[in-house]
């Protein structure tokens, strides 16, 4: 018998963790996109620098509960996704957030330059990256979830139709 994901697990499929409450507004697009796919998620504020023990405990609990993908979002010296990847063998997606003096380049480099064998899938800086973290998580989960795969396909079709040329080129100067 094939049980649905929610029947087998206590934790949501996706855990979104950010380093500070100040990061939450940048993640709205991520939360909205996860909702649009019907993916169960939860968000937590746990700093890798300020609360490493709490982070380790959270990851242990989430893994035991069945969480499949971790999204880590942080700004400045953004070590959170890398530390997550050190604590779990499940996929980690890193979202570099802007806001510091370096406009997010600091966070991007911190996240993307992981040493071999400890992978983090980095997305773009800021809210665009936050949205893509959700879309990437959906694509990963869809590999083993045919109903979600259909929703991913539907989203892509909708996006393609939205990209059609809607202006009259004769009026363009």
Q: Tell me which residues touch ligand RP5 (CB under 6 A).
A: 18-20, 22-23, 47, 74-76, 97, 99
Burial letters for 15-44: b for 16+ Cβ neighbours within 10 Å, e otherwise? bbbbbbeebeebbebbbebbeebebebebe
**What minimum distance in Å lies between the beta carbon of 33 and ligand RP5?**
20
Q: What is the DSSP letter of 125?
A: S
Contact 93, 74 (CB under 8 A): no
Query: For residues 66 and 99, which CB has a smaller minimum distance to ligand RP5 in the complex?
Result: 99
The Cα-based distances of 93 to 23, 118, 133, 172 in angstroms read 16, 12, 6, 40
If residue 15 lies in a helix (H) or strand (E), which one and from where to where? strand 14-18
**What minimum distance in Å lies between the beta carbon of 66 and ligand RP5?**
26
Query: For residues 47 and 122, which CB has a smaller minimum distance to ligand RP5 in the complex?
Result: 47
**What minimum distance in Å lies between the beta carbon of 16 and ligand RP5?**
12
Contact 50, 41 (CB under 8 A): no
Query: For residues 84 and 148, which CB has a smaller minimum distance to ligand RP5 in the complex?
Result: 84
**What minimum distance in Å lies between the beta carbon of 34 and ligand RP5?**
19
Query: For residues 20 and 67, which CB has a smaller minimum distance to ligand RP5 in the complex?
Result: 20
**What minimum distance in Å lies between the beta carbon of 125 and ligand RP5?**
12
Rounded to the nearest 10°, the torsion over CA 60, 57, 142, 137 is -150
Query: For residues 110 and 132, which CB has a smaller minimum distance to ligand RP5 in the complex?
Result: 110
């Amino acid at each position: 018998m094939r049980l649905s994901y929610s029947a087998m697990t206590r934790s949501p499929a996706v855990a979104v963790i950010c380093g500070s409450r100040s990061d939450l507004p940048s993640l709205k697009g991520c939360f909205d996109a996860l909702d649009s796919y019907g993916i169960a998620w939860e968000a937590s504020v746990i700093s890798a620098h300020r609360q490493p023990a709490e982070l380790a405990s959270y990851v242990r609990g989430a893994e035991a509960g069945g969480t499949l993908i971790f999204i880590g979002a942080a700004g400045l010296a953004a070590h959170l996704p890398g530390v997550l990847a050190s604590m779990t063998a499940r996929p980690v997606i890193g979202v570099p957030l802007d806001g510091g003096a370096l406009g997010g380049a600091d966070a991007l480099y911190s996240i993307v330059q992981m040493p071999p064998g400890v992978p983090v899938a980095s997305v773009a800086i800021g809210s665009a990256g936050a949205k893509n973290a959700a879309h990437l998580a959906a694509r990963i989960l869809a590999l083993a979830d045919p109903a979600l795969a259909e929703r991913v396909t539907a989203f892509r079709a909708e996006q393609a139709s939205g990209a059609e040329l809607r202006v009259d080129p004769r009026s363009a100067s």
